[in-house]
Each structure stands twice: as C-alpha cells, then as structure tokens.
C-alpha cells in the first residue's frame, strides 16, 4: 500500500456531489447507483471519512455540480453529451430536494463550498484551485460521486494542477461494475498516488491531532 | 451516428503525442501498444486523417508530452504515478529519436505545435486553449496516443473548456482492450459528441473545400 | 480610431460589478467614485451601451465580485491587499442592497451571470471563459467598475486568454484621475484593441440587425 | 513596511524576461528602458536579489516571453496590441542574442525555466502555476521587466491564483516614470502584499539558512 502519511496543514478532504439526486432514495439517479453504492457501503463510508476528517482537523471542500436552472443550456452552441443528459434530466434542479446535499453530509462550520461546476471536474471553471491554495493545501483525499465522471475528472484535474491525490474507493459509486472498473482500476491509478478503503484512510488520518478512529455514523 | 458537419473555419485536428517512443518500432512503449495499434491500423489511420485534414483546410494542432530532461522531477514534492513512470522510463527523452515525431506525422507549414504538457492533458499548463481561440476554433477532431491517458485527458479537458469533440477511435491505441474499452466505450462518450472511424471522419471532412477523399498513405 | 466592426454572433458585452455599493447613492464606495463617475456620465453611458447591445442582439455577460459572507477570509493563509480591503469593508455584502445590481442595469432574459470572482478579474476562478466559448464569443465590449482594478484585470485576462477587447472609457469610473489615467491611458491600450466612447460604441453596434441608435435612459 | 518574513520552503523568486532585448546595451527595447533602469540600478539589483535568493536556498523560477518565430502571428484572427508590437519588432527573436538571457542572470542548477508566455503574464498559458505547486511554493518575490506590462500582469495573476507577492520596486524598469507610477504606485499595491527595495528584500531573505547579506555583483 502507498504511503498514507498526511500533514493536517496541507491536506484536505474533497467531497464531490453528495446530493440527493445521486445518493438518496427517490433521487433522480439513485436507482442507477444504488446497486454499487449499497454493495460497497458508499454512503456510510462517505459519512465516516467526513466525520473523521473533521475530527482530525482536515479541512473539507465541497465540489458541487451546477444546480439545473431553466435557460442554462438553450443558448449554448456546443453542449457535451454529459451536459445534454443533465439538461434533459434536470439533475440537481435548483430549489428542489434533489439538488440539496444529503443531510448527514451537510457542510459544517469552516468547510468550504466552492462554485458549481458545469461538466465533471470540480476544478474546471470554479474556485476550487484558488480555495485550496488560499488554505495551503497540497494533498487531497477524495470521496463522492460518480466514479467515472465527476470523481475521475476531478482527480485527473488535481494531478494535472499539481496536487497529490488519495482516492477512497469504497466511498464512491457508479452505474455498474464496468464503470467502477474503468475508473478505479484502469484510469485513476495513473493520477492518484493511493487508492484505499475508507477504513484505511480513517486509520491514517485518525492519527492526526490525537483524533480517535471514526466509526460509521 | 452523430452529426458530422464541420465548418472549416472553426474546426481543428488535434494530434496527440505522435512520437517514436509510442508508435515506432524500437520506441520505449511501442511493444506495449503495438497489439492494439496494429489491429486497428492506428498509424495509417492517423496519417490518413492528418493528410485529409490538411487538404480540407482544417488547421492542425500538435499536443506533445514533455520531452524528458534530467532534473525534471527531482525537486518536485508531489509526483503523480504517471509522472513517476515517465521519470523512470525517460519517455520522450529530449534530444533522442524517441522524443521525435514519427516522420510521416511531422508538422507542416501552418500547423501549430503547442507547449509540452507535463501530465496527460494537452490543455493543462500549455497554450493549447489560447492557440485554438486565436484561430477561432470550437470543434476538435482528435487522434493520437494513448487512449485512456493523454487522449481521454485532452478530450475531458476540451469538454470542460467548452469545445465540441469528435474522437477517431481507430486512430488511437492502448496497452490492451481493457484500457481501450475504458476510454472509448465507458468514458469518452460522455465528453465527445461523436466517436467515429477514420473512414467516417475522412468522408465527412473531405466534403470541405472540395477536397478529395483521402487515401491511406 | 480602431476598426469598430462587430459581428453579432461572436461579440459580447461584459458588464463588470454594476452593484449599488459601487454606483448608487449610499453605496459603500460611491463617495470615492462619484467624482469621476458623474464627470464622465458613467452610469447613463453604462445603461446606454447595455440597452443598445440588447437591441443589437449582442449577448450580455455579467461579471460580479464575490458578495461578502462572514467567514470568507478568516481561514485564508494568504490574503491580497485588495481582498483585505473587501474583507474590512464588507463590500457587496451578501443579502444587502449594496451587493445588488443597480436597478436599470439588471440582467434580462438571455443574459448570462457568471460565478462571482474573488479578486479583480472576472475570468479568474469563474466560468466566464467557459460561458463565452459556449456562446461562440471572441470579441468583448467592456463596461463597468472599477477601471484600474476589476476592469483592467478583466481586460488583461481577456487578452491573455485570446479575446479581442473594446473598452468603453466613459462607461467606467475610478477614485480619481490618476487611477483612470493608469488604467485607460497607460495600461489598457496594450491589451484592448480599441478604447472608445459610449457614443462611438453605440454607433458601431447599432448598425447590427438594423437596431436604432440607443439614447441615454 | 509590510511583514517580510519568508519561509524558505514555500518562497520563490520569480525573474521575468531578463533578456538582452530588454536589459542589455544593443537590445531592441533597451534604449526605451535605460533611463529608468540606470536611475534605479535595475540590473545590479536584479543580480543582487538573484544571488542572495540562491544563497538563501530560495528556488528561482524564470518567466520568459515567447521568443519570436516567423509564422507566430500570421494566422491569428485576434492579436492584442502588445502582441502586434512584439510581432512588428520581433522582440526576443528565436536564435538571436536579443532573445537570450543576460549573462549574469542566467539560470543555474535547480532553477526552473517555465514555458514561454504569449502576452504579458508569466502564468497565462504556461506551466508556472504547476511548477510553483510542485515545489510547494506560496510566496513570490518578483523582479524583472517591464513593470507595467509583464511584471504587473504576472503579479495580478499571482494574486488571482492565490499567491502572496512581494515586489522589488528597484529591480524593475519601464519606459518612463508615468508607467512606473501606474504599476508601482497605483496598481500593484492592490495585489502585492509588500513593495520593497532590493536592499530590504536582501536583508529579509539573507536571514534564511544563515546566508550572508548579498552584495552587488
């Protein structure tokens, strides 16, 4: 296993798109994600990592997708397929429950919620890179959804921009094993320095600041 | 099949890492790529698309990986796994044959060779986006290597930055079918508006400016 | 005078920080700006250019500064002087009148309001570049505040990113003539292809789509 | 005076465009810069700061303008005025003495020379931000040319991207006092946390690593 030493001052947890449409019963995409998400306990693992990070004094950054609003895409001359899908489906519609963050994953005091992203990467066209720099961050621990789109995109960008990334492979989910495999086994190993389980990352960061090992909420 | 209408003034061909270390007999990575590359005729297809684009008046942009130089990585505090590999392997070593562009894919007059990229995306930390804008480009046709790393990364960035992308699926290659599948079938369909064969793109762009249909060189 | 030919499809009006704290009686910074703003009729010129652009079918983009929220800066390790000032002054405080756009400059249907910027450039850490590309824009007409900070910063970034810029010199303002001179006479001429009056730009863009010449509101 | 405490591990010296065309007798722009440059001892100060930084263990980054090559601009649809001037003048022509770095300011072992910039900012369309992050840098000390164009542009970008900047005001130069005033007195104070003399910065960084105070070479 890769070296899992983290220095609190330069490490952040990045939580990607933890919204109801993705990870709550009744969400627009949940039926497509629940098979993998329930099998790997994605949601309890996201909560476990989040809680442990906070106790360890690791700052938390939220990367959230654009909440759909009427008129978002009508005037665009060029719309990528994944944006076509978001447009048709009205995923994360502004002002609706689906676009809200799942309750036990809500941002807390001191967490940073960055500007919404329009495609998949939490970095592209947002202030995520700025906020990380303003807080002196160089190492990212990543959880969230969806593995082969927003998560992989954010990790790829992180590597391109110079960050060191640790991916928590059972704190994410996808439509099926083939997308999980493409993201976790084929692509992300090129860009993330470590790919670990929630238990492994919890053990590693609990050492910081004398924090106790987190237990699943 | 997707709409394959291209306007010459706003369309570019982007050729990614067409260097000897990747696609020439004796190159450092060729042995790992030749299985797929020979099966799908990657190199003749790259040549065919390049020649046809030039005849059609579509401008060509080269996105090239950093040519390895001693000292590139020694002082970095954070080195992504794919950069660790490039460092160890000295891929595209500066001043060597391996870092040179394969002869029949050489840049010609009017082609634009952008600054070298350090990771996988031709856009990250380079002037590719600038050069495309300076030439008024909005649509990209993409060929080159390697499918699941630099090609997918460049296509993902292109979509994030607002470009419309067409991927030529038999003018790329990879280590094995699993990486090709991850790139071409799982991920790129979210970001490229069309994924086509060399024959299809040649037919589409040959219509521009009365250019004749390209034949394989 | 520079060539003032604009093609509607690739031209946008960018309106920078037209908020009450800057340009309305009672705004936090108005007392420092009103001398120049009233002398050059900044506000009626901004309205005149906005109205004419809409009638001419030129799309409008709003670049707005971060609305101050408690906690914005407390955890930052590095805070630029201009951010220190915004923090101390709580300029554009979220939820207050000062952070709202002046009524006659409000966004209308089809206008694009991009993500808030944290320093001076409307491009940095926002989706302005993306939105411009998605709409096929290459030429920018710029109005707004403050000349030597956000306006100059946005124009410098625009030039760096490949856009062609026309600055409307009497649809901006500043603390005094020395800042106006630094921005309009010393610096911006290097980055904007034309620096014109509101009357000149109104005459130029009124030609598009048979729009009538705008009159001051 | 601002706090001038620097931690070696997170501080860098950025040297902008120290090429013969700007700062050597016979260079294409020297005649326009020499009045200010000789009055404030720009060149000995640049050497003094560079030598001291190296002795103090502060890493040095070079931000260099595009060396002019035939064909650079002919196909661009949009060319900013400062690029028009570089094109006409063939400043820093590739392969000529004018494009070379002045001898006593040459990069040494461990220095990082980033990709050439096309307009004014050393960050735009280059790997400067990446290289700084890969080396863990957050604070920049800036010297070089020309104050109101490349230096101011690089400092503005640095602030936008989250870096803390110290400007060395007598290790830069400009065409005349009016451009110096616009850059040093009007604009840069908004973005640089400190604006100091070469003697002040040398005193501050000499404290690092027991380095002796640098003397002018």
> What is the reported pLDDT for C215?
42
With CA atoms as reference, the chain A residue closest to B2 would be: A81
What would the pLDDT profile of A110-165 be if each residue is shown by its tens digit? 999 999 999 999 999 999 999 999 999 999 999 999 999 999 999 999 999 999 99
Query: Is residue A112 within 8 Å of A131, Cβ to Cβ?
Result: yes
List of chain B residues whose C-beta atoms are within 8 Å of the C-beta of residue C138: 133, 136
Selected residue of B128, B133, B138, B193 to mutate for chain C interface (largest C Cβ count, 10 A): B133
> What gap in Å lies between CA B190 and CA A22, rounded to an integer?
17
DSSP-derived secondary structure letter, A90: T
Subunits with 3+ Cβ pairs within 8 Å of A are: B, C, D
- Taking only residues 116 to 135 of chain D, the set having a beta carbon closer than 8 angstroms to any beta carbon of chain A reads 129-130, 133-134
**CA-CA-CA-CA dihedral for C97, C101, C104, C107, to nearest 10:** -140
Quote the minimal CA–CA distance from C205 to chain A in Å.
21
Q: Is B100 exposed, middle or buried (0-12, 13-18, 19+ CB in 10 A)?
A: middle
A157 touches chain C (CB under 8 A): no
> What gap in Å lies between CA C46 and CA C51, rounded to an integer?
9
D127/B127 Cβ within 8 A: no
What would the pLDDT profile of B173-193 be if each residue is shown by its tens digit? 999 999 999 999 999 999 999
> What is the reported pLDDT for B210?
61
pLDDT at residue B211 greater than cutoff 50: no
Selected residue of A9, A127, A162 to mutate for chain D interface (largest D Cβ count, 10 A): A162
List of chain C residues whose C-beta atoms are within 8 Å of the C-beta of residue D124: 157, 160-161
Query: CB atoms < 10 A from the CB of C156, how many?
Result: 31
HSE-CB at B60 with a 13 A cutoff on CA atoms is: 25
> What is the reported pLDDT for A2?
62
A72 touches chain B (CB under 8 A): no
Q: Which residue has the tokens 């890969």?
A: D134
Q: Is D108 exposed, middle or buried (0-12, 13-18, 19+ CB in 10 A)?
A: exposed
Query: Is residue B154 within 8 Å of B142, Cβ to Cβ?
Result: yes
Q: How much is the average pLDDT of D173-190? A: 98
List of chain D residues whose C-beta atoms are within 8 Å of the C-beta of residue A138: 133, 136
The count of CB pairs under 8 A between chains A and D is 23
B3 touches chain D (CB under 8 A): no
Quote the minimal CA–CA distance from A158 to chain B in Å.
10
> What is the reported pLDDT for D142?
98
B71 touches chain D (CB under 8 A): yes
- Residue B38 makes CB contacts below 8 A (sequence gap 6+) with none
HSE-CB at B33 with a 13 A cutoff on CA atoms is: 27
Quote the minimal CA–CA distance from B131 to chain D in Å.
8
> What gap in Å lies between CA C149 and CA D150, rounded to an integer?
16
A116/C115 Cβ within 8 A: yes
DSSP-derived secondary structure letter, B122: S
Max Cα separation, chain D? Answer: 53
List of chain C residues whose C-beta atoms are within 8 Å of the C-beta of residue D121: 156, 160
> What is the reported pLDDT for A177?
98
Q: Which residue has the tokens 């690029």?
A: D83
Quote the minimal CA–CA distance from C114 to chain B in Å.
15
> What is the reported pLDDT for B159?
98
Omega before B146 within 30 of 0, i.e. cis: yes
> What gap in Å lies between CA A45 and CA A170, rounded to an integer?
7
Query: What is A105-146 written as a DSSP string?
Result: G---TT-EEPPPBSSS-SSTTSSHHHHHHHTT--EEEEEES-
Cα–Cα–Cα angle for C111, C112, C113, nearest 5°? 120
pLDDT at residue D217 greater than cutoff 50: no
D163 touches chain A (CB under 8 A): yes
Quote the minimal CA–CA distance from A215 to chain B in Å.
31
Query: CB atoms < 10 A from the CB of B97, how many?
Result: 12
List of chain C residues whose C-beta atoms are within 8 Å of the C-beta of residue B162: 129-130, 133-134
Q: How much is the average pLDDT of B65-78? A: 98
D71/B110 Cβ within 8 A: yes
> What is the reported pLDDT for D209?
64
pLDDT at residue B214 greater than cutoff 60: no
D78 touches chain B (CB under 8 A): yes
D82/C190 Cβ within 8 A: yes
> What is the reported pLDDT for C207?
86
**Long-range contacts for A107-110 (Cβ within 8 Å, ≥24 apart)?**
A107/A60, A107/A62, A108/A54, A108/A60, A109/C71, A110/A59, A110/A60, A110/C71, A110/C75
Query: Residue B113 in 3-state DSSP?
Result: strand
Omega before A170 within 30 of 0, i.e. cis: no
With CA atoms as reference, the chain D residue closest to C179 would be: D186
With CA atoms as reference, the chain A residue closest to D10 would be: A136
pLDDT greater at residue D212 or residue C194 = C194
> What gap in Å lies between CA B150 and CA C80, rounded to an integer?
36
With CA atoms as reference, the chain C residue closest to A71 would be: C110
B138 touches chain C (CB under 8 A): yes
List of chain C residues whose C-beta atoms are within 8 Å of the C-beta of residue D80: 159, 164-165, 190-193
D152/C187 Cβ within 8 A: yes
Rg of chain D over all Cα atoms, to the nearest angstrom: 16
Q: Tokens for B160, please give them.
A: 């994030």
With CA atoms as reference, the chain D residue closest to C148 would be: D187
Omega before A146 within 30 of 0, i.e. cis: yes
The answer, yes or no, to whether ipTM is higher than 0.90 is yes
Q: Tokens for D103, please give them.
A: 């001898």
Q: Is C10 exposed, middle or buried (0-12, 13-18, 19+ CB in 10 A)?
A: middle
Quote the minimal CA–CA distance from B49 to chain C in Å.
26
Q: Which residue has the tokens 């793109």?
A: B201
Query: What is B19-88 written as a DSSP string?
Result: BHHHHSTT-TTHHHHHHHHHHTTHHHHHHHHHHHHHHHT-EEEEE-BPPB-TTSSTT-S---HHHHHHHH
Residue A215's pLDDT band (cuts 50, 70, 90): very low
Quote the minimal CA–CA distance from C82 to chain D in Å.
5
C110 touches chain B (CB under 8 A): no
C80/D191 Cβ within 8 A: yes
> What gap in Å lies between CA A25 and CA A13, rounded to an integer?
25
Strands D194-196 and D11-16, sheet pairing: unpaired
What would the pLDDT profile of D65-124 be if each residue is shown by its tens digit? 999 999 999 999 999 999 999 999 999 999 999 999 999 999 999 999 999 999 999 999
pLDDT greater at residue D104 or residue B217 = D104
Of the candidates B125, B130, B134, the beta carbon closest to that of D127 is on B125
Nearest Cα residue to A183 out of A158, A153, A142, A161: A153
> What gap in Å lies between CA A139 and CA D77, rounded to an integer?
41
pLDDT at residue A1 greater than cutoff 60: no
pLDDT beneath 70: ranges in chain C: 1-2, 209-217
> What gap in Å lies between CA C191 and CA C152, rounded to an integer?
9
Quote the minimal CA–CA distance from A127 to chain C in Å.
4
């Amino acid at each position: 296993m890769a070296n899992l030493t983290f220095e609190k001052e330069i490490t952040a947890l990045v939580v990607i798109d933890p919204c109801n449409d993705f990870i709550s019963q009744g969400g627009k995409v949940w039926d497509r994600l629940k098979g993998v998400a329930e099998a790997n306990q994605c949601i309890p693992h996201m909560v476990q990592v989040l809680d442990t990070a906070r106790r360890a004094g690791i700052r938390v950054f939220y990367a959230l997708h654009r909440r759909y609003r009427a008129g978002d895409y009508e005037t665009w001359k060029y719309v990528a397929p994944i944006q076509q899908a978001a447009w048709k489906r009205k995923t994360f519609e502004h002002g609706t429950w689906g676009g809200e963050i799942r309750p036990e994953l809500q941002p807390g005091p001191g967490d940073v919620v960055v500007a919404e992203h329009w495609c998949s990467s939490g970095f592209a066209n947002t202030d995520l890179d700025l906020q990380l720099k303003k807080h002196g961050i160089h190492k990212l621990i990543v959880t969230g959804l969806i593995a082969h789109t927003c998560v992989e995109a954010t990790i790829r960008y992180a590597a391109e921009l110079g960050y060191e990334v640790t991916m928590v492979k059972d704190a994410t989910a996808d439509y099926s094993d083939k997308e999980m495999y493409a993201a976790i086994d084929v692509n992300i190993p090129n860009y993330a320095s470590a790919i670990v389980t929630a238990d492994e990352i919890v053990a590693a960061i609990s050492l910081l600041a004398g924090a106790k090992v987190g237990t699943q909420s």
